[in-house]
Amino acid sequence: MESCAASGVRRPRPTAPRPAPAVVGSSAAATTQEDVVTDRLELDAAWLSDDDLELTRDRVPMVYVIALPVRTNAHGLVTHVGLLLRMMPDGTVSRAVVAGRVLYGERVREALLRHLERDLGTMALPRLPTEPQPFTVAEFFPDPSVSGFHDPRQHAVALAYVVPVDGDCEPSQEALDLTWVTPDEAVSESMVLDMTGGQDRLVRLALAHVGCLP
């Protein structure tokens, strides 16, 4: 609000020049927003101690996101599926999809970007819509007979997505390896034998969703 001088004359208050607004969708705007999100999430990453997390897992279902990275051709058809090799909660080494927890205060899209970057590297360039829609919801239980999706640590509810990636992918952090296979190879008997905990079912559901299940 402008102030009035003693003489009664209203004088405009000097203001500093405003920076030009970033164009929505520009790389500068996106980078700034993602940097803020990343910084906040890094600060909040330890929102529960190991003991508190263990206690929570014993009493509350955990929310997860799952992503099957894919390569597509010029017509948008899936040509290859990316499968990680990682140590699973049950102690086995399995081919698996990208997966991880949603943190408190974190949007689902932010969680997907964070876990894709963690497992595929910073140059993966995933294509995510503004409001991603899951192709299925998978429920993991300590008892494998309940749903067929098994996680011995917890009851987890996972929102599953198919995510096209355009950049260079390299396994990082917890992932031991990343292999690109065709849809036929992804559901082959030899590949299914390398998957545990219901990972093979997730791959089949994802391929059926995009219309390329052999």
CATH classification of the domain holding 177: 3.90.79.10
pLDDT one-digit tens code per residue, 57-102: 888 899 999 999 999 999 999 999 999 998 887 788 899 999 999 9
Percentage with pLDDT > 90 across the chain: 64
Alpha helices in 45-140, H assignment, sequence order:
50-57, 108-120
Query: From residue 66, how far is each of 15, 179, 197 by CA, in Å?
Result: 48, 17, 13
Q: Is the pLDDT of residue 18 over 50?
A: no
Q: Is residue 1, in this structure, part of any structural domain at all?
A: no
What residues form DSSP beta bridges with 29? Answer: none
Over the range 79-103, which residues count as b (16 or more CB within 10 Å of their CB) and which as e? ebbbbbebebbeeeebbbbbbbbbb
Structural domain of 76: 44-209
Distance CA 40, CA 185 (A): 39
Average pLDDT of the segment spanning 150-173: 94
Q: Is residue 23, in this structure, part of any structural domain at all?
A: no
Do the beta carbons of residue 161 and residue 67 sit within 8 Å?
Answer: yes
Distance CA 62, CA 76 (A): 33
Strand, helix or coil at 56? helix
Q: Is residue 134, in this structure, part of any structural domain at all?
A: yes
Structure tokens at 10: 């209203």
Predicted TM-score (pTM) of this structure: 0.75
Q: Is residue 13, in this structure, part of any structural domain at all?
A: no
Q: Is residue 173, in this structure, part of any structural domain at all?
A: yes
Q: Is the pLDDT of residue 6 over 70?
A: no
Q: Is residue 8, in this structure, part of any structural domain at all?
A: no
Within 8 A by CB and 6+ apart from 199, the residues are 94, 95, 96, 97
Q: Is the pLDDT of residue 118 over 60?
A: yes
pLDDT one-digit tens code per residue, 168-180: 998 876 788 999 9
Q: Is residue 103, in this structure, part of any structural domain at all?
A: yes
Q: Is residue 24, in this structure, part of any structural domain at all?
A: no
Distance CA 4, CA 15 (A): 16
Number of domains in the chain: 1
Instruction: Please give the pLDDT value at position 47.
Output: 66
